Every structure is written in structure tokens, then in C-alpha cells.
């Protein structure tokens, strides 16, 4: 559906014009729109009120249908014990299931046209509507909104956002989940460059994590690469104001990719890819997805160059709802504190992940780089879970370090590895046994007041996250650390397993968690030593959860042992 009121659109009715007049005059009752993240992030400053005639792009998330059926279908296509396992839905099937009701579509479209919105575009599933409007029109449409111009972030990005909550007309509340493009600021990278560890002597040592170190630790041979004969592909999504450079990828592969077949360049960039300075995180994502998932066609979803009122993460979700043919594996290094987002927003994004799972997409999210996290309300400390890491419909990747940072040894917890228990999502059935076992057997549990023991627990798996080499702006950079590194590595290895499955006539892995938990960590190295960081107070003294045998909320089931993982996941 494309609507443009400048070209006539659907026409304006006297009834709706009357409704709009009442709204503008403040005589309609409102129900508050609950997605109200308004705290100004560190490093951002207001430049004052936005020009009333400045143009915005706002995204309206329309209320979907049949979500209970969607949930049951996801369970059926993702559970190896189900006769429907691997029989994924097409995008058109998903659209048929979740498409908003005709009443919702009609009501919202007419409301927006009456308000003067133009160039409104929907997606295949018809559950998002993105429209242009002026600041003046948006402030009339969404009572309470007040748009300001802000500057901040490492690249001094300009954005237009509303620091105040807004309200939807009461008649619209049953039809709209949230309006995107008002509150959330662009994310910042949590990657760290750590000091180089000190060690005496250098015989038999490595000087940081490279593709050859990863391949040695996770038991990949030179033959463990893509065949180049399938339509298999993989993707990473980037929401920072960063670019990657093809020349950096070429230099990275020249330095570190000599002992395995690999592709020389990214197959497809979705979004804007400029010529500015490369970012370390953008470079890291591409270089390690393409070296772990070696010789497999790779897409990059890139956000630089977007309009100032757009939210990159939301734009990525819209792309997933509008593309019939997508890579089976997507790796994403992005997260927000759960408590900074409204329940309505989180639940709706979680539904978008359900839609992806129903289509057989594997979504991997970094678990975060703040350990268990920490926040304090009224003097009471609690751990601080991260979203989307806490979604029950994504596979979340934690982080590890080598026991000896200069040798390819067994792994221990990387103290930054994000993990814990959701305060929003209940524990999904697929992890009931594993989490119950952890809670009943761990000798180092934090006080129960710090976490929601009945919530969705994460991460699900882990990989090395400490001490990576990255090439950015033609310069090799050592000791880069974060779960932004472990996530593309695990994703690349899953792409190699998908390659074997496709060659043997089987569907891609799809949503991995039900199978992962049924197999109780088969094919993974169990990480049993170390704890991650948390609140620096007297009660927990900076320590969150600790790893142990089996699943734990620091490293999940563990890190990949590729030949064993391949054997575990190739059939059925």
C-alpha cells in the first residue's frame, strides 16, 4: 500500500476532518502511548526546538492478528520432534496470518491522511506504515510530542527526537502498538580495546585472536568453508553510525585469511554505505562473519546516511517484513536495557522475531558487554537485563577468554559477557529443565532480590570475545573485545552447518533454541570457570553469575566444537 495525499490519496471525509479538529483542540480523550524512553543518553546535547516545517519520517506499528497461532507455528517448525519441523512459512504465509484487520488498516490510514501525512509506505505484512510529515503536523497528531534537534555520539550525529511523551487519540489506541522515530537515540558501541597482557617468552604463543586462532580452537580444517555452489548466505546488521571498507576487508584477508578459501568482498549492502572513516565495530562484524563463515555469500545491513528521524534498528525490522528471500543467518550486535523500553515496544519487537523464526531465520544477538548489569531504584540494587538478548525468539551469544591469553587453550568466562534473566519475558518451555538445574545446583547464586528467576534466561551459547585483531582504515588494531566479536563468529559457523544441510537437501537450521536445549549442549565446549561483573556494592562486590557444568547465564551451553556441532545439527 502506498498512499500520498499530495496526489489525492484516499480522500478526506468530513467525519475524519471533524475528528482531527477535535484532536487538535484537545477535546478528545487520549490513551497514553506507552513507549516513552525519554532520558537523554550521555554525550548528547539539545540544539533547541526543531523547525516546525522540518520533515520527519515516523513509523506506525499497526496491531497484528493471530499471534497465538504464530507462536504455535514457530514451536512446530523449530522443534525436531514435530512433524512440521523445518517446514517454514513464506513471507506471504506470515503476512496472511498477522496482517492487521481491515478496520485497523482503514482507521489508521484515514487518520494519517486527515492529519496531512504524505508518502506513506507499508510492508508486505502490512503491519508497519511509514509516513512523512512536518514537525508541526506530528506535534498536532501526537499530543504532547515536542520535537527538538540533538547532536551527539562519536561522530556528532544530528537527530530529531521528542523528549516528551506523546498520546494517541483513544479511538486509535486499539489499532497502533507504538510510533517509532520519536524517542530512541542511535546506539553506541560497547567494544573495548583492552591493554595487551604481559607475558615472558614467546615460544608457541599467539599475539591475539585471528581467524587462524579461531579455526584452531574450534577445530575447523581448511576444508570447512562454503562450497560456492549453493544459494546459502549470511548477514550482519549494523545500527551504529559506521561504515566498513572493502579495502579493509581485503587487507584483513591478506593478513589473516591465507590458509582458507574465502570471498573477497561483501555480496550485497542493504542501505547506505558511504566513503567516510571505517568504524571498528562495522569492520569487526564483516571480517569475522566472513572468516568464520568462510566462502559464503555475505550481506551487510548498513544504516549510515539515514534520515535524521529514522531509527536504524526499526528500519531493519521493516526490511525483514518486506523481503521474500533473506539470508538464513543474521548476526546483530545491538542492545538496550530492558527497563529503558516500554513493554508494548518490547512485545512488538519480540513478535517481529517470531515472524522471522516462522520463516526459518536464525537471529543471533550479542548478549552485551556489561555482565549481569546493574541499576538502582530507591536505593535497591538489581541486575539489569538487556534486550533483544532477552527475547525468547533469538539465540543470544555470550563471551569467553582463553585461560592463557597467549595460547590456544580451554576457555573461561570473559567477565564482560552479558547474561541474566529477563524482567519482561517468562522462561520459555524449551529451557525449563536447563535453567531449573542451574538454579538448584549453582553454589554461587546472587541474592534472589537481584534477578527474576522465572524470566527468560540468557545467553544460549558463547564464543571467544577477547583480544581480536581487526583492520580498520588500513590499520591492524589489536586486543579488541566484546560480544560483538563472538556473535559473528558463532553465526559464521552456523552458516557452514547450513551449507552442509542445504547440500544434503535439508532446510536451514531456523530458530535454533528448541533444538539446542533438547540436545543439552551437544557439540559445544562446556565453559565451567569464571564469573561475570555486576553491581559494585557490598552485597555482591561486583560479581554476577558464575559458570558451571551444563547451561549457565554467563556462557550458555558453551562454545562451538565445530565437527561435533556439525554432527549434532546436520540431521534431521
Over residues 527-566, the pLDDT tens digits come to 999 999 999 998 999 999 999 999 999 999 999 999 999 9
Active site residue 538: no
Average pLDDT over residues 115-127: 94
Q: Which residues contact 554 (CB under 8 A, 6 or more apart)?
A: 398, 413, 417, 419, 459, 462, 527, 530, 531, 532, 544, 545, 546, 547
Q: What pLDDT, on the 0 to 100 scale, is given for residue 96?
A: 98
Q: Tell me which of 370, 401, 472, 484 is the catalytic residue.
A: 484
Terminal CA-to-CA distance of the chain, rounded, Å? 40
Q: Tell me which of 285, 338, 411, 533 is the catalytic residue.
A: 285
Set of cell numbers at residue 489: 563468529
On average, the pLDDT of the chain sits at 88
What are the boundaries of each domain within the chain? 29-64+99-180, 211-570
Q: What is the pTM of this model?
A: 0.89
Rounded percentage of the chain residues whose pLDDT exceeds 90: 69
Q: Left (φ > 0), alpha (ψ -120 to 50) or beta: where does 125 sit? A: alpha
Nearest to 37 by CA among 189, 176, 168, 161: 161
Average pLDDT over residues 66-86: 97
Q: What pLDDT, on the 0 to 100 scale, is given for residue 118?
A: 93
What whole-number distance in Å separates Cα of residue 283 and Cα of residue 477? 11
For residue 505, is pLDDT > 60? yes
Q: Is 274 annotated as a binding residue?
A: no
Active site residue 539: no
Q: What pLDDT, on the 0 to 100 scale, is given for residue 196?
A: 55
For residue 5, is pLDDT > 80? no
Q: What pLDDT, on the 0 to 100 scale, is given for residue 42?
A: 77
Phi, psi dihedrals of residue 413, rounded to the nearest 5°: -60, 135
Q: Is 74 annotated as a binding residue?
A: no
Active site residue 190: no
SS3 201: coil
Q: Is 550 annotated as a binding residue?
A: yes
245/154: higher pLDDT: 245
Q: What pLDDT, on the 0 to 100 scale, is given for residue 306?
A: 55
Could you report the per-residue pLDDT of 145-192, keeping only the tens digit for each? 889 998 887 777 788 888 888 888 888 889 999 998 776 766 666 665
Average pLDDT over residues 410-432: 97
Q: Is 527 annotated as a binding residue?
A: yes
Q: Tell me which of 177, 224, 248, 281 is the catalytic residue.
A: 281
CATH 3.30.1360.120 is right for the domain spanning 211-570: no
Set of cell numbers at residue 44: 548528547
Could you report the per-residue pLDDT of 269-305, keeping only the tens digit for each? 998 766 678 889 899 999 999 999 999 999 999 875 4
Q: What pLDDT, on the 0 to 100 scale, is given for residue 409?
A: 93
Q: What pLDDT, on the 0 to 100 scale, is given for residue 254?
A: 96
Amino acid at each position: 500500500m502506498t498512499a500520498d495525499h499530495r496526489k489525492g490519496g484516499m480522500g478526506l471525509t468530513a467525519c475524519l476532518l471533524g475528528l482531527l479538529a477535535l484532536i487538535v483542540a484537545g477535546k478528545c480523550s487520549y490513551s497514553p502511548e506507552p513507549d516513552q524512553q525519554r532520558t537523554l543518553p550521555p554525550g548528547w546535547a539539545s540544539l533547541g526546538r526543531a523547525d516546525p516545517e522540518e520533515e520527519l519520517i515516523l513509523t506506525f506499528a499497526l496491531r497484528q492478528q493471530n499471534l497465538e497461532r504464530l507462536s504455535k507455528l514457530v514451536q512446530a517448525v523449530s522443534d525436531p520432534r514435530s512433524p512440521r519441523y523445518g517446514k517454514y512459512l513464506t513471507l506471504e504465509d506470515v503476512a496472511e496470518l498477522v496482517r492487521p484487520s481491515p478496520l485497523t488498516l482503514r482507521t489508521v490510514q484515514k487518520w494519517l491522511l486527515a492529519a496531512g501525512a504524505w508518502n506513506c509506505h507499508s510492508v508486505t505484512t502490512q503491519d508497519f506504515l511509514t509516513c512523512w510529515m512536518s514537525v508541526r503536523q506530528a506535534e498536532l497528531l501526537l499530543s504532547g510530542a515536542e520535537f527538538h534537534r540533538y547532536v551527539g555520539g562519536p561522530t556528532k550525529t544530528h537527530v530529531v527526537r521528542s523528549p516528551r511523551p506523546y498520546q494517541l487519540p483513544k479511538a486509535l489506541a486499539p489499532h497502533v502498538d507504538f510510533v517509532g522515530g520519536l524517542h530512541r537515540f542511535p546506539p553506541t558501541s560497547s567494544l573495548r580495546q583492552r591493554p595487551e597482557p604481559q607475558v615472558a617468552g614467546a615460544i608457541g604463543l599467539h599475539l591475539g585472536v585471528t581467524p587462524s586462532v579461531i579455526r584452531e580452537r574450534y577445530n575447523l580444517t581448511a576444508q570447512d568453508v562454503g562450497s560456492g555452489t549453493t544459494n546459502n548466505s549470511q548477514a550482519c546488521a549494523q545500527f551504529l553510525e559506521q561504515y566498513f571498507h572493502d579495502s579493509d576487508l581485503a587487507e584483513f584477508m591478506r593478513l589473516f585469511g591465507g590458509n582458507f578459501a574465502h570471498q573477497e568482498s561483501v555480496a550485497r549492502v542493504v542501505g547506505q554505505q558511504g566513503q567516510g572513516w571505517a568504524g571498528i565495530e562495522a569492520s569487526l562484524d564483516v571480517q569475522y562473519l566472513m572468516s568464520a563463515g568462510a566462502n559464503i555469500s555475505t550481506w551487510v545491513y548498513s544504516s549510515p546516511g539515514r534520515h535524521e528521524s529514522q531509527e536504524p534498528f526499526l528500519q531493519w525490522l521493516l526490511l525483514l517484513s518486506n523481503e521474500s528471500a533473506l539470508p538464513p543467518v543474521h548476526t546483530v550486535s545491538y542492545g538496550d536495557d530492558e527497563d529503558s523500553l516500554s513493554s508494548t515496544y518490547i512485545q512488538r519487537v519480540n513478535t517481529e522475531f517470531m515472524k522471522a523464526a516462522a520463516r526459518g531465520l536464525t537471529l543471533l544477538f550479542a548478549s552485551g558487554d556489561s555482565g549481569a548489569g546493574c541499576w538502582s531504584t530507591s536505593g535497591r540494587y538489581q541486575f539489569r537485563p538487556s534486550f533483544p538478548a532477552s527475547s525468547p525468539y533469538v539465540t543470544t551469544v555470550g563471551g569467553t577468554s582463553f585461560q592463557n591469553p597467549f595460547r590456544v587453550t580451554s576457555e573461561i568466562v570473559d567477565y564482560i559477557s552479558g547474561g541474566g534473566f529477563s524482567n519482561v519475558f517468562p522462561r520459555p518451555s524449551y529451557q525449563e529443565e536447563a535453567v531449573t538445574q542451574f538454579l538448584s545446583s549453582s553454589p554461587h547464586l546472587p541474592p534472589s532480590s537481584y534477578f527474576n528467576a522465572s524470566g527468560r534466561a540468557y545467553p544460549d551459547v558463547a564464543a571467544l570475545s577477547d583480544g581480536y585483531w581487526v583492520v580498520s582504515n588500513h590499520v591492524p588494531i589489536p586486543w579488541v573485545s566484546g560480544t560483538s566479536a563472538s556473535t559473528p563468529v558463532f553465526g559464521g559457523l552456523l552458516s557452514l552447518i547450513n551449507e552442509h544441510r542445504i547440500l544434503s537437501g535439508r532446510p536451514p537450521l531456523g530458530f535454533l533454541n528448541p533444538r539446542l536445549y533438547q540436545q543439552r549442549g551437544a557439540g559445544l565446549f562446556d565453559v565451567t570457570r569464571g564469573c561475570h561483573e555486576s553491581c559494585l556494592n557490598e552485597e555482591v562486590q561486583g560479581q554476577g553469575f558464575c559458570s558451571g557444568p551444563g547451561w549457565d547465564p554467563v556462557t550458555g551451553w558453551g562454545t562451538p566444537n565445530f565437527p561435533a556441532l556439525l554432527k549434532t545439527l546436520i540431521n534431521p
